[in-house]
Amino acid sequence: MRQLRSFGAAFCGIWHTIKNEGHFRFHLVAAFYVIIFGLFYDFSRAQWTLILLLIGAILAAELFNTALENLADRVTKERDALIKVAKDAAAGAVLALSAFAVVIAVMLYLDFGRIANIFSFFLGNIPLLILLIISIIISIVFIVPGPEGIAKLFRKTK
């Protein structure tokens, strides 16, 4: 029973981060498209392992960053030089990891022939192209206002 409560607490932390952190939502959406477009490549098991490991590491780094920011805000809301350094360093860790992930993604995905084939695939399959466009619109709405912003919008219209 204790383990179930631990899982519940972990999922609450993830949900809190999804609701409140646009960067986390951005990384979730990026991970979704990295996986979807990765299906068009003939990645080896090792390459997929690297991709999934990077996705997990970035999401975990964002969760740690959120935890540190919330803890620091609990300590004090006033300006504090050391808390600023801690928050900036945590954000910098996410940025550094993300930058290296982008470099690796470019190394894995930058194949102009494959990219042209992906464009041809979607242009030749209009229903899938429409689905892709809808998913992009939904992703933007998910990232920018997020679940809380969407909920507020619906509360205002009622």
pLDDT single digits (tens) 125-150: 999 999 999 999 999 999 999 888 88
**Residue 77: pLDDT above 90?**
no
Domain range list for the chain: 23-109
On whether the pTM is more than 0.85, the answer is: yes
Task: Report whether 32 contacts 140 (CB < 8 A).
Answer: no
Q: Which fold has domain 23-109?
A: Helix Hairpins (1.10.287)
Spatial separation of the C-alpha atoms in residues 59 and 82, rounded to whole Å: 25
**Residue 158: pLDDT above 70?**
no
Spatial separation of the C-alpha atoms in residues 99 and 125, rounded to whole Å: 33
